[in-house]
Structure 1
Amino acid sequence: MYMNCVVVDDEELPGKILEQLIGQNPSLNLLKIFKDPIEALKYINSDEKDIDIIFLDILMPKFTGFDLIKAIKSPSHIILISSDKNYALKAFEFPKVTDYLLKPIQKERFLKAISKVIARSNNPGNIKEASTSIKEDELYINTDKRLIKINIPDINFIEAKGNFIYIKTLSDNYLVYSSLKKIESKLPSSSFLRVHRSYIINFRKIIDIQDNSILINNELIPVSRRYKPQLLDHLNLL
């Protein structure tokens, strides 16, 4: 069994590199390479096409990769490619994005991205679940014998405090009887990441990363050695 792939990049060299890497992998089948994003969109959205992976450049004429993601109807896995690592945070706001490759594309990172696609494909309903969770942007917490609604995108970070968790939002703070593990299962993985045994962060709120700490809204969050590789890999800042 193989996965059908499409490459969308207005630059010739990255397309050639991907063509070679895909050709070396027996589990992949390259359908077509597009330099024109509009033509690519027509092809991808055709009901007759069964596309498993879309390698999509971010900066292109007429459309950006982000524009294209919003218009793509196919449930394909999307691997974004760019020469600029600064788009990584925005990239993972989209549930369909499985990975983010920096140009020039290295074989080892390419294979790692394909492994991520396979892992998500082996989880039934993973794309559907991701799409649902990103839309369900409200969380209800039980505090002071009341149910209070929190907008998930407003959460900056969550800190474990004994048998309680401290939820820090843009405007309020909440102390809730719960565990990090429990609330982690309620948060979209496209925005939230464990960086310490006592902290989960909304990585869309990151202002800066310095050594073993993250700056979010003028607050320093520690990053443990155990979770730092996961953070760097998730943001493709290697």
Structure 2
Amino acid sequence: MKILIVEDDPMIAESVQDILGILRHEVIGVAEDAEKAIAICNETLPDLALLDIQIGGDIDGVDLADLLNQNFQIPFIFTTAFADNDTISRAKSKGPYGYLVKPYGVKDINAAIEIAMTAYERFKEAKESQAMSKVIQDSIFLKVDSKLIKVKINDILYVEAKGDYALFKTQEKGFIVHTTMKRVEDRLTDHNFVKVHRSYVINLSKIVDIEESNLLIENKVIPISRSNKEALIKRLNLL
């Protein structure tokens, strides 16, 4: 891996370089302060940074970790000779992937790197999974003939029962799907939809106006049944 060393003690920095060489990692640079560390990252993005907490300059290793998180999103391991509770507490709040207390040797660094990178990969997978889940939750796949067509849920104006089928109406077009209104209601009620009639499930955000037993969406007049009117009123933001 490409590793950045942030250490203001030249002898320790050289020792860490030697250890990383033994472990077959590439040191892309050694920085004695935050300014140089950021300059190195701008030139070559590391896979991991080893950050000494007590470094020269106005910004210490803990604050540098914030900058690396904001600008480069790379994992980092804190290295320090100080293991007091205050230092650990402050460092812990920055979300490091490891914490090495000096002095350390080959086995210590190797174990810290392995654990840090495993944790980082799991974090990335979880983040990607969360992003994918959001995409899926914002859309629905409609089975139309032999195709699965992805439609953004908020683009659906209303769903109308058509016998054994249902019409999913968007502003652009309509999709005829073989399904039941019960299934439609189950899938959409958590997404700002409500059943207003045995034949209609509507998108609350698309309502233009409501008059007695009807409501208007686009240019479509949709009936409101007595049994569903109370549930509709409860979902509205009334003044």
- TM-score where L is the length of structure 1: 0.48
Structure scoring higher RCO (CA < 8 A, sep ≥ 6) equals: 1
Q: Based on CA coordinates, which of the two structures has the bigger radius of gyration?
A: 2
Higher helix share: 2
- TM-score where L is the length of structure 2: 0.47
